[in-house]
């Protein structure tokens, strides 16, 4: 082969490689806390109060108790417990575009759980996504977030998990299509998207902010639902907390954008929503957020909730262009007004099964939890979360007791559910969702099991 050609070839390779690197660098994007411009320092060098560990009230608690608190804060249970299954015994399905993943048994059972894990092996799994047998975990396990967890906190969680009764349980096998069934492939993914560095406080921020950051990023992993993902399924922190679709539900914009984020919420609203799953005039958490509240956020100490609020408040505003700039006011008291009458089926379902609780105005005569006015879900023209709540219902464990909405998915057709979601979004949100029978069928699939 002629030299000139070889040179050209080499040049081409170099260029391509350069472009690729650039592309990858772009894909990788900034870290979750990059938006805070202050200097990041190693935990050891941070002179403010230690943002890791448990709240002061638990300072003297046993390792297991501290681990229990942190395990709840990290919300291990929700993903590692199947519906109707034993706590932490795994088996929950994650429906992904390319197949179904199952969570694993993290009870201390030696054969089917994590009973045989050494401390080092546990840290590798939780922080780096490397299984005891060396195999790679899929990022459905948020180890990119847990990487920020301090070793001490991670091992406290281990101590707690090992204090639980071992459960013999093997999850059904994953059903991932090639090439996603090749776990080794995740090695490159991790190398690229999970830089192996721990939590670094921002020296320019208050200790409270840093504590909030630690809870949000290292434990509660808010971004795993609320931050959009890029083509490589990695979090795109350029759009941090800008809202994303997760497990068939909309995880809404929680940036400080006034119109479409939390900018318009008071600190009290946010704190109450996190701690109870409900804020007056803001609505009630359902679906995955409802579970996060029940099993994790509602268990956090008040000061940790306050720290979370401080941190959320600082996240730069991003406008969600798919959401209306303002929330609709209460609907008219008469069924005759407030909607075009094309959607007869939607109205028929609503007046039979829904109006008794939610009212024609959207303000419930029974419970503020059932008031639709002002909630994001009905003001979301996608209608996704409205349809999901109709299908699967919701149960909130609140201080006054259990508040629930029954599931209508088994007795109402996809067509009826689409129609009522379209009716509700039009009547109470001002813009009818355009859901079809097929859309609802798809929603059911995404949340099946």
Partner 1 sequence: MAISLNINGSRRSVEAGDDVPLLWVLRDVLGMTGTKFGCGIAQCGACTVHIDGSPVRSCLLPVGAIGDKAVTTIEGISETPEGARVQKAWLDLEVVQCGYCQSGQIMSAAALLAVTPDPDDDDIDAAMSGNICRCGTYVRIRAAIKQAASDGRA
Partner 2 sequence: MRTDVKGISRRGLLTAGMAGGVLLAFRLPLGAQTAERAPDESPDQFAPNAFIRIDGEGRTTLVMPQVEMGQGVYTSIAMILAEELDADFRRVAVEHAPPDERLYANPLLGVQATGNSNSIRAFWTPLRKAGATARAMLVQAAAERWQVDPAGCTTFEGVVTHAASGRTATYAELAGAARDQPAPADAPLKDPRDFTLIGTSAKRLDTPDKVDGRVVYGIDVRLDGMKVATLAQCPVFGGRVAAVDDSAAMQVPGVRQVVVLDDLVAVVGDHMWAAKQGLEALDVTWDEGPHADLSSADIWTDLRAASETDGVVARSTGDIATGLGTGELVEAAYEMPFLAHAAMEPLNCTVRLTPDSCEIWIGTQVASRVQASVAETLGIPDGKVTVINHYIGGGFGRRLEPDMAVAAVRIAQKVAAPLKVIWTREEDTRHDVYRPVYRDKIAATLSGGSIAAWKYRVAGAAVLARWLPPAFQNGIDIDAVDSAVDMPYDIPNVHVEYVRAEPPAVPTGFWRGVGPNNNVFAIECFIDELARKAGTDPVAFRRRMLEKSPRMLGVLDLAAGKAGWGDALPPRVGRGIALQPTFDTSIATVVEAEVDGDGEIQLRRVTAAVDTGIAVNPDTIVAQIEGGLIFGLTAALFGEITIERGRVQQSNFNDYRMLRINETPRIDVHLVRSGEFPGGIGECGVIGGPPALRNAIYAATGVALRRLPIDRSLIAGGTRS
One of 50, 65, 151, 437 touching partner 2 (CB under 8 A): 437
One of 57, 175, 197, 356 touching partner 1 (CB under 8 A): 356
352 binds partner 1 (CB under 8 A): yes
Q: How many residues bind partner 1 (CB under 8 A)?
A: 17
Which residues between 96 and 155 bind partner 2 (CB under 8 A)? Answer: none
397 binds partner 1 (CB under 8 A): no
**Segment contacting partner 2 (CB under 8 A): 93-101, 168-176, 364-372, 403-411?**
403-411
446 binds partner 2 (CB under 8 A): no
One of 162, 412, 423, 428 touching partner 2 (CB under 8 A): 412
| Cross-strand pairs, 251 | 244
342 binds partner 1 (CB under 8 A): no
411 binds partner 2 (CB under 8 A): yes
Closer residue to partner 1, CB minimum distance, 173 or 400:
400
Is 76 annotated in some ligand binding site? yes
| C-alpha R_g of the chain | 23
| String of contacts with partner 2 for each residue 315-354, x by CB under 8 A | ------------------------------x--x--xxx-
**Segment contacting partner 1 (CB under 8 A): 74-82, 241-249, 318-326, 362-370?**
362-370
Report the alpha-carbon distance of residue 31 to residue 218 in Å, rounded.
12
- Residue found by looking up tokens 């991790």 in the block: 190
Closer residue to partner 2, CB minimum distance, 83 or 97:
83
85 binds partner 2 (CB under 8 A): no
- When CB distances are held under 5 to 8 angstroms depending on the partner's kind, the choice from partner 2, partner 1, none that residue 335 binds is partner 1
- When CB distances are held under 5 to 8 angstroms depending on the partner's kind, the choice from partner 2, partner 1, none that residue 151 binds is none
What is the separation of C-alpha 29 from the centre of its chain, rounded to a whole number of angstroms? 20
Dihedral of the alpha carbons of 181, 83, 300, 159, in degrees to the nearest 10: -70
The total number of residues shown for the chain amounts to 449
Judged on CB neighbours under 10 Å (0-12, 13-18, 19+), 308 is buried
- When CB distances are held under 5 to 8 angstroms depending on the partner's kind, the choice from partner 2, partner 1, none that residue 366 binds is partner 1
Closer residue to partner 1, CB minimum distance, 113 or 359:
359
291 binds partner 2 (CB under 8 A): no
Closer residue to partner 1, CB minimum distance, 354 or 432:
354
**Segment contacting partner 2 (CB under 8 A): 170-178, 239-247, 288-296, 412-420?**
412-420
83 binds partner 2 (CB under 8 A): no
Judged on CB neighbours under 10 Å (0-12, 13-18, 19+), 414 is buried
Which residues between 350 and 379 bind partner 2 (CB under 8 A)? Answer: 351-353
413 binds partner 2 (CB under 8 A): yes
Q: Are 225 and 246 in contact (CB under 8 A)?
A: yes
Peptide bond before 317: cis, by omega within 30 degrees of 0?
A: no
Angle in degrees, CA 40, 66, 308, rounded to 5: 45
Closer residue to partner 1, CB minimum distance, 111 or 280:
280
Is 225 annotated in some ligand binding site? yes
401 binds partner 1 (CB under 8 A): yes
179 binds partner 1 (CB under 8 A): no
Task: Please give the residue ranges that form the binding site for partner 1 (CB under 8 A).
Answer: 335-336, 348, 351-353, 355-357, 360, 365-367, 400-401, 404, 406
Contacts with partner 2, residue ranges (CB under 8 A):
345, 348, 351-353, 393, 401-402, 406-408, 410-413, 415-416, 437
């Amino acid at each position: 082969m002629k030299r000139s050609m070889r040179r050209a070839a080499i040049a081409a390779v170099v260029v391509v490689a350069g472009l690729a690197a650039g592309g990858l660098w772009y894909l990788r994007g900034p870290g979750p806390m990059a938006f805070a411009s202050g200097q990041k320092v190693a935990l050891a060098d941070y002179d403010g109060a230690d943002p890791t560990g448990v709240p002061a009230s638990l300072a003297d608690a046993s390792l297991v108790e501290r681990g229990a608190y942190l395990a709840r804060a990290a919300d291990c249970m929700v993903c590692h417990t199947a519906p109707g299954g034993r706590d932490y015994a795994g088996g929950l399905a994650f429906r992904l575009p390319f197949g179904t993943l199952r969570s694993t048994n993290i009870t201390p059972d030696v054969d089917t759980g994590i009973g045989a894990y050494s401390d080092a092996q546990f840290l590798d799994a939780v922080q780096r996504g490397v299984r005891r047998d060396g195999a790679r975990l899929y990022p459905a396990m948020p180890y990119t977030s847990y990487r920020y967890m301090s070793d001490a906190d991670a091992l406290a969680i281990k101590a707690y998990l090992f204090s639980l009764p071992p459960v013999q349980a093997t999850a059904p096998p994953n059903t991932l299509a090639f090439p996603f069934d090749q776990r080794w492939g995740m090695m490159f993914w991790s190398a690229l998207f999970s830089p192996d560095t721990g939590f670094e406080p921002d020296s320019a921020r208050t200790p409270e902010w840093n504590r909030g950051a630690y809870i949000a990023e290292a434990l509660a992993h808010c971004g795993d639902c609320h931050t959009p993902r890029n083509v490589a399924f990695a979090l795109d922190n350029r759009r941090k907390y800008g809202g994303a679709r997760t497990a068939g539900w909309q995880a809404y914009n929680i940036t400080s954008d006034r119109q479409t984020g939390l900018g318009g919420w008071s600190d009290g609203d946010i704190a109450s929503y996190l701690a109870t799953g409900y804020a007056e005039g803001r609505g009630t958490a359902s679906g995955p957020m409802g579970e996060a509240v029940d099993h994790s956020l509602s268990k956090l100490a008040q000061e940790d909730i306050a720290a979370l609020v401080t941190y959320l408040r600082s996240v730069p505003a991003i406008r969600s262009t798919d959401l209306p700039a303002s929330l609709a006011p209460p609907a008219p008291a008469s069924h005759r007004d407030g909607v075009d009458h094309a959607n007869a089926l939607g109205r028929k379902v609503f007046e039979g099964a829904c109006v008794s609780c939610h009212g024609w105005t959207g303000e419930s005569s029974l419970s503020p939890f059932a008031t639709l006015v002002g909630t994001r879900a009905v003001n979301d023209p996608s209608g996704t979360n409205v349809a999901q709540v109709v299908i699967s219902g919701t149960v909130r464990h609140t201080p006054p007791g259990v508040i629930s909405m029954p599931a209508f998915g088994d007795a109402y057709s996809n067509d009826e559910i689409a129609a009522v979601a379209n009716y509700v979004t039009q009547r109470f949100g001002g813009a009818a969702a355009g859901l079809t029978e097929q859309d609802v069928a798809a929603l059911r699939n995404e949340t099946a099991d």
